[in-house]
Structure 1
Amino acid sequence: MAGAYDDRDGKIWMDGTLVDWRDAKVHILTHALHYASSVFEGERCYDGKIFKGHEHSLRLRKSANLLDMEIPYTAEEIDAAKDAMLKANGWTNAYVRAIAWRGAGEDMGVSAKRNPVRLAVAGWEWGNYYGDAKLKGAKLDISKWKRPSPETIPSEAKAAGLYMICTMSKHAAEAKGCSDAMMFDYRGYVAEATGANIFFVKDGEVHTPKADCFLNGLTRQTVIGMLKDMQIKVHERHIMPEELESFEQCWLTGTAAEVTPVGQIGDYTFEVGELTKRVAADYEKLVRA
């Protein structure tokens, strides 16, 4: 499937009903369009099964609650909606996007308590998020934007509004010929890429930023568990920018990114080493188990 995302064949699950792709629309005065009152999930279906699908459904509801929204569907009902969408489109391998938002209603201002919370589930067939980077390593820019303090945003929510600076950072990176950008946090510590968590290797041990002001990704948690099962020491800690030159390997994790090696961040270079390759291969086996 190709073409603009609003002009495709297929079905999208929307508020309890499967609708034709081109008919899945919202009104221009939808609250989320004006005030970013929406949360979403990105998931991958492998060989007919969504990896950690129920965990994603639970997180979607948690994200909504953090934005003072109550999704009118249980996690189990969201699971069923995702399965119905995949079956309707005949997909066994696909990316799945569930999104909840405040719709149009009686309120049109910052407050929107009287507006309905709506839910939709779409999907598409999607290959490697970073193209051929899985073989040679992605090239990352360093963003001028920083992940904000959890005192200023609900950093544990996968909320659409929190990705505004990610979009700008990725656009700037692509203009420089990079695949993505690494971001620091409000304190100056290494944080994450625009849509993926980051890991480093030094002397056979793994270091990853402490997820205290950005999303603790489900793929991140999965990979940390894998590393511990491999008896590899994992340090979840604050990482200073000047440490980047001492790391030997680097990779990104995320539902879209899966496990993607990094070859360069700014002026710092990394090898696509054996541990990186092993983690990527083992993750691929795990999601298809």
Structure 2
Amino acid sequence: MADSYDNRDGKIWMDGQLVDWRDANVHLLTHAMHYASSVFEGERAYNGKIFESRLHSERLLFSGNELDIPIPYTVDEIEAAKYEVMKANNLVDAYVRVLAWRGSGQDMGVASASNPVRMAVAAWEWGAYYGDAKMKGAKLDISKWKRPSPETIPCFAKASGLYMICTMAKHQAEAKGCSDAMMFDHRGYVAEATGANMFFVKDGEVHTPKPDCFLNGITRQTTIKMLERKGITVNERHIMPEELEGFEQCWLTGTAAEVTPVGQIGDYNFEVGAMARDIAESYEKLVRE
């Protein structure tokens, strides 16, 4: 069994320099620990190249701006830091996590404008997010928690605070023997899983929830382009819960999840069919080109 994430060998990039893995620490009174004032990116490297790396770096800066966390690094500097970490840890196939947050400073209430913004980059080997689900299809619970309205929080940012209900939903799903949970949005439409976007197949066409109150994932966008290149019609639209019964196939997309077929959501069953397998194989080939 692997060591705890705070007890490993290697290097982590923090605020412009590499530090020993076990020394990559912050103070207890770090603002982000108390108020979730942080944003992040999760990325995968294949054969030494981070897939869509610059898009992730650009989205990190966008997320920071959305949450009033001005990240003091350029896209080029973030890119350099990511590859410096991979080189320092001798990684070729890896998961890369970039995190920016409000640190300790003069403010310890809700406001934190005077506190410095810090950034760190870590990378490690990480296998299939859903284990053997790529072969037999993941099993999903249906969460009681809903994705929030855009009027309540900057929901298009990749912000740490947005994931708390995802953690709760996934814990509840795992307690039921499921890999993950599907979430509805605040209006009751099908939205996404706790850390992945969703696609469905019916009569040879693909249907995917319209990302108007949740993250339009980079892997989601990549998958849509792949499907369109294959001549498959993709319908981005609001999907009602009762439509789940009529869909034939389903899969998840995300940087960690990659493309993972789904075999069951609650009481609804799906075939791990030809289209789901084909798009998973096509994605695997694309990221290693």
Indicate the residue corresponding to 1:7 in structure 2. Answer: 7
* SS across alignment from 1:118: strand
Cα distance in 2 for residues equivalent to 1:266 and 1:129: 20
Cα distance in 2 for residues equivalent to 1:144 and 1:69: 30
* SS across alignment from 2:19: strand
Indicate the residue corresponding to 1:87 in structure 2. Answer: 87
Cα distance in 1 for residues equivalent to 2:166 and 2:198: 15
Deviations, residues 159-178 of structure 1 (Å, cap 9, x unaligned): 00000000000000000000
Indicate the residue corresponding to 2:199 in structure 1. Answer: 199
Cα distance in 2 for residues equivalent to 1:58 and 1:40: 11
Cα distance in 1 for residues equivalent to 2:124 and 2:137: 25
- The yes-or-no answer on 1:241 pairing with 2:241 is yes
Shift of 1:46: 0.2
* SS across alignment from 2:85: helix
Cα distance in 2 for residues equivalent to 1:277 and 1:135: 9
Indicate the residue corresponding to 1:19 in structure 2. Answer: 19
Where do residues 258-273 of structure 1 align in structure 2 (5 Å cutoff)? 258-273=258-273
Unaligned stretches of 5+ in structure 2?
none
Shift of 1:197: 0.1
Cα distance in 2 for residues equivalent to 1:241 and 1:130: 24
Letter in 1 for 2:139: K
Deviations, residues 137-157 of structure 1 (Å, cap 9, x unaligned): 000000000001000010110
- The yes-or-no answer on 1:136 pairing with 2:136 is yes
Cα distance in 1 for residues equivalent to 2:224 and 2:73: 31
Deviations, residues 105-140 of structure 1 (Å, cap 9, x unaligned): 011111111100000000110000000000000000
Indicate the residue corresponding to 2:66 in structure 1. Answer: 66
Indicate the residue corresponding to 2:35 in structure 1. Answer: 35
TM-score computed with the length of structure 1 as normaliser: 0.99
Shift of 1:60: 0.3
Deviations, residues 167-220 of structure 1 (Å, cap 9, x unaligned): 000000000000000000000000000000000000000000000000000000
Cα distance in 2 for residues equivalent to 1:180 and 1:226: 25
Cα distance in 1 for residues equivalent to 2:50 and 2:236: 27
Shift of 1:231: 0.6
- The yes-or-no answer on 1:46 pairing with 2:43 is no
TM-score computed with the length of structure 2 as normaliser: 0.99
* SS across alignment from 1:58: helix
Deviations, residues 14-51 of structure 1 (Å, cap 9, x unaligned): 00000000000000000000000000000000000000
Aligned residues: 289
Cα distance in 1 for residues equivalent to 2:192 and 2:113: 33
Letter in 2 for 1:93: D
Indicate the residue corresponding to 1:167 in structure 2. Answer: 167
Indicate the residue corresponding to 1:125 in structure 2. Answer: 125
Indicate the residue corresponding to 2:285 in structure 1. Answer: 285
Cα distance in 1 for residues equivalent to 2:27 and 2:35: 14
Cα distance in 2 for residues equivalent to 1:194 and 1:31: 25
Superposition misfits of 4+ residues, deviation over 3 angstroms: none
* SS across alignment from 1:62: helix
Letter in 1 for 2:158: K
Cα distance in 2 for residues equivalent to 1:252 and 1:25: 34
* SS across alignment from 1:65: helix
Letter in 2 for 1:213: C
Cα distance in 1 for residues equivalent to 2:71 and 2:266: 41
Where do residues 153-192 of structure 1 align in structure 2 (5 Å cutoff)? 153-192=153-192
Indicate the residue corresponding to 2:250 in structure 1. Answer: 250
Letter in 1 for 2:113: K
- What fraction of aligned residue pairs are identical, expressed as a percent? 75
Cα distance in 2 for residues equivalent to 1:49 and 1:251: 25
Cα distance in 2 for residues equivalent to 1:208 and 1:91: 34
Shift of 1:2: 1.9
Cα distance in 2 for residues equivalent to 1:248 and 1:93: 33
Cα distance in 2 for residues equivalent to 1:228 and 1:197: 17
Cα distance in 1 for residues equivalent to 2:251 and 2:28: 40
Letter in 2 for 1:224: I
Shift of 1:81: 0.1
Unaligned stretches of 5+ in structure 1?
none
Cα distance in 1 for residues equivalent to 2:248 and 2:46: 31
Shift of 1:69: 1.3
